Chains A and B, each alone.
Chain A
Amino acid sequence: MTLKITNTFPALLCALLLFSGCAATRGPTTVVPSAPIPPTKEGARATLKRMAEFLSRAQRFSVNVQSGYDAVQASGQKIEFGEVRTVTVNRPDRLRIDVEHSDGKRHLVLFDGKNITVSSMPQNVYAQISRPGDIDGAVRYFINDLNMRLPLAMLYVSRLPDELDRRVQSLEYVERTSILGAPAHHLAGRTETVDFQVWIAEGEQPLPQRVVLTYKDAEGQPQFRALFSDWNLSPTVTDSMFMFTPPEEAKKIAFLPQLRQVAIQSPKPTGQTGGQK
């Protein structure tokens, strides 16, 4: 059941939605009332599960992620570094992530079902490795074996519900809020090593709107924060989006573990100076 909203009766609308925060005044033109979520642990659990299942079942989606993380300096001072990502997931075996770091460096991560490729500008370098399979396997391999960085990777794998089930030790419903632009449920949970908060959109598309991760065991308890925007559950995708064509004069380099693997297979070099940093 949908409630059509027009600009003719904003006051009436405001009155009708008074107890739901009057969020529609700056939201989309159509509001889909959802079953009320009780502000309890059970409600929080149901909301998180609904989000995880919804996202993991999406055949494809794209989203922009504006994120930042604290780097705790030796002095104890926290500095935030930011980055913007555009993530395109096309299940079961296509993934593209365009990244721009706050220092201007740009990276592209591609998986086309066969190869994982990373390229970077302005260095104009790329690394590529064969890893046939699906997105889940590629993402795990990328992080676990290649020791590469892929923030919020868990949100892109189809095992998201299981991953959350296994890790979340406690979960609370904080509040319902509309300050992110649309009504959302603010949840707070704890894993063994990370405290997390997630804002999940209310309605038929329970997508994450914001995530805050606190690394409680790390020095200074740094945080990772991400704001999601422009969720699209039917993006236009083509095979070429996920395939890599090296830019002109691009140099192929290694993933660091590849170098070590080469090193341990080769005779020990002589005359190394080493130790330089």
Chain B
Amino acid sequence: MKTRPLTIIAAIATTLFFLTAIVDDADARGRGGGGFSRGGGEFSQGGGFSRGGSTMSSGGFSRSSPAASGSFSSSASSASSQRSAQRSQTQQTASANQEARSSSRQQQQQSMQQSRQQQQQEMQQSRQQQQQSMQQSRSQQQQSRQQASNENVETRQQGYSDRTESRQQGYSDRTESRQETAQSYEGTYYRGGNYYGDDHWDDGEVAAVAVGSAAVGAMAGYAAGTSTTAYTTPPPTGITALPCTPSVVEVSGVTYYRCSSTWYTQAYAGDAVTYVVVAPPPGY
């Protein structure tokens, strides 16, 4: 007998629990159009991608990303030409989406208009379209076809406006981005030993590949642990794999790799071990 009340409580609790879950779910869906949409998955479920080797690109997938910094601030603003190209693509996509949304809105409006009187519809259409409409049949079927045509025209017009706006916005964005990039390149990474403001000390995005050359004469400094940093210009960056099977030479504790007439040494860039072009070691 003692177990009976517990069983009842369990049954009630379980029922309430599921009811609550259902209500929560419905509420969440209802909120979908508000501040925090639940639409879309957070993680890509695609799978099956090849990593494409250990290099940063070379036919594989690039690991480079401003998101790799895991920072609450970002200096990323289309700093590389690759991202500029992508921005263009994104803009096109955004424009297409906008166009699609406009089209959808347009169609919705047209549907609402269809329920009104035909005269009201014609007043909302352009004069030219109205004339075309009048020239065409008077039957309801033909009017419907005309409406469809008008929808397309209006949608195209709307799309054109959207694209123009998008291009203008994109131009402004790119201009701002270039300015910001120039500023961050001067100020963010290499600032003569001074931190670039307190707000953005961790917004570093590893600089894009821009192979430079380092002299060899004093390179033993870091090997001996005596080197300190005082930057005035961006350092060179490197590649994560050599283009050949190199000949290896060690001079003053520094290992050099030679491919043809080009000499490399290894250095950390971001958290990757890279090969950087350097001057030949003494005696070579």
Within 8 A of B (CB), among A49-81: 67-74, 76, 78-81
Nearest B residue (CB) for A118: B268
A258:B227 contact, CB within 8 angstroms? yes
A127:B268 contact, CB within 8 angstroms? yes
Task: Looking at the assembled complex, report how far the CB atom of A184 sits from the nearest CB atom of chain B, in whole angstroms.
Answer: 15
B86:A217 contact, CB within 8 angstroms? no
* Candidate in A10, A188, A255 with the most chain B CB atoms within 10 angstroms: A255
B73:A148 contact, CB within 8 angstroms? no
Task: Looking at the assembled complex, report how far the CB atom of A76 sits from the nearest CB atom of chain B, in whole angstroms.
Answer: 5
B43-71: CB near A (< 8 Å → 1, else 0) gives 11000010100100000011111111111
For the complex, give the distance between the alpha carbons of A256 and B234 in Å. 10
B182 at the interface (CB under 8 A from A): no
Nearest B residue (CB) for A19: B20
A244-277: CB near B (< 8 Å → 1, else 0) gives 0000000111111111111111111111111111
Task: Looking at the assembled complex, report how far the CB atom of A105 sits from the nearest CB atom of chain B, in whole angstroms.
Answer: 8
Task: Looking at the assembled complex, report how far the CB atom of B244 sits from the nearest CB atom of chain A, in whole angstroms.
Answer: 10
A18:B13 contact, CB within 8 angstroms? yes
* Candidate in B65, B231, B233 with the most chain A CB atoms within 10 angstroms: B65
Q: Which of A30-38, A139-147, A200-208, A231-239 contacts B (4 or more CB under 8 A)?
A: A139-147
B225 at the interface (CB under 8 A from A): yes
Contact flag A256-B235 (CB < 8 Å), given A71-B64, A265-B218, A274-B212: yes
Nearest A residue (CB) for B269: A256
B76:A193 contact, CB within 8 angstroms? yes
Within 8 A of A (CB), among B234-284: 234-239, 243, 253, 255, 260-262, 265-271, 273-274, 276-280
Tell which of B204, B218, B266 touches A253, judged by Cβ atoms closer than 8 Å.
B266
Determine the chain B residues whose CB is within 8 A of the CB of A260 once the complex forms: 212, 214, 231, 233-236
Tell which of B202, B233, B277 touches A276, judged by Cβ atoms closer than 8 Å.
B277
B100 at the interface (CB under 8 A from A): no
Determine the chain A residues whose CB is within 8 A of the CB of B63 once the complex forms: 71, 81
A42 at the interface (CB under 8 A from B): no
Number of interface residues of A (CB under 8 A): 101
Tell which of A194, A218, A222, A258 touches B73, judged by Cβ atoms closer than 8 Å.
A194
B67:A218 contact, CB within 8 angstroms? yes
B70:A151 contact, CB within 8 angstroms? yes
A129 at the interface (CB under 8 A from B): yes
Within 8 A of B (CB), among A1-43: 9-12, 14-15, 18-19, 22
Contact flag A153-B71 (CB < 8 Å), given A172-B35, A259-B267, A260-B233: yes
Determine the chain A residues whose CB is within 8 A of the CB of B260 once the complex forms: 273
Determine the chain A residues whose CB is within 8 A of the CB of B274 once the complex forms: 256
Tell which of B216, B253, B255, B273 touches A266, judged by Cβ atoms closer than 8 Å.
B216
Tell which of B189, B195, B225 touches A147, judged by Cβ atoms closer than 8 Å.
B189
B206 at the interface (CB under 8 A from A): yes
Task: Looking at the assembled complex, report how far the CB atom of A170 sits from the nearest CB atom of chain B, in whole angstroms.
Answer: 11
Tell which of B67, B199, B231 touches A222, judged by Cβ atoms closer than 8 Å.
B67
Task: Looking at the assembled complex, report how far the CB atom of B210 sits from the nearest CB atom of chain A, in whole angstroms.
Answer: 9
Determine the chain B residues whose CB is within 8 A of the CB of A129 once the complex forms: 222, 225, 227-229
B10 at the interface (CB under 8 A from A): yes
For the complex, give the distance between the alpha carbons of A8 and B250 in Å. 70
Determine the chain B residues whose CB is within 8 A of the CB of A213 once the complex forms: 67, 70-72
Determine the chain B residues whose CB is within 8 A of the CB of A99 once the complex forms: 271
B32 at the interface (CB under 8 A from A): no
Give A residues with C-beta under 8 Å from B.
Answer: 9-12, 14-15, 18-19, 22, 67-74, 76, 78-81, 99, 102-103, 105, 107, 118, 120, 123, 125, 127-130, 139-140, 143-154, 163-164, 166-167, 172, 174-175, 188, 191-194, 196, 212-213, 215, 217-220, 222-226, 251-277
Q: A151-B69, A274-B277 are known contacts; what are 19 more A-B pairs with Cβ within 8 Å?
A: A11-B10, A14-B10, A14-B17, A15-B13, A18-B20, A76-B86, A129-B225, A218-B78, A219-B90, A224-B67, A256-B274, A262-B214, A263-B215, A265-B215, A265-B218, A266-B217, A272-B277, A273-B262, A274-B212
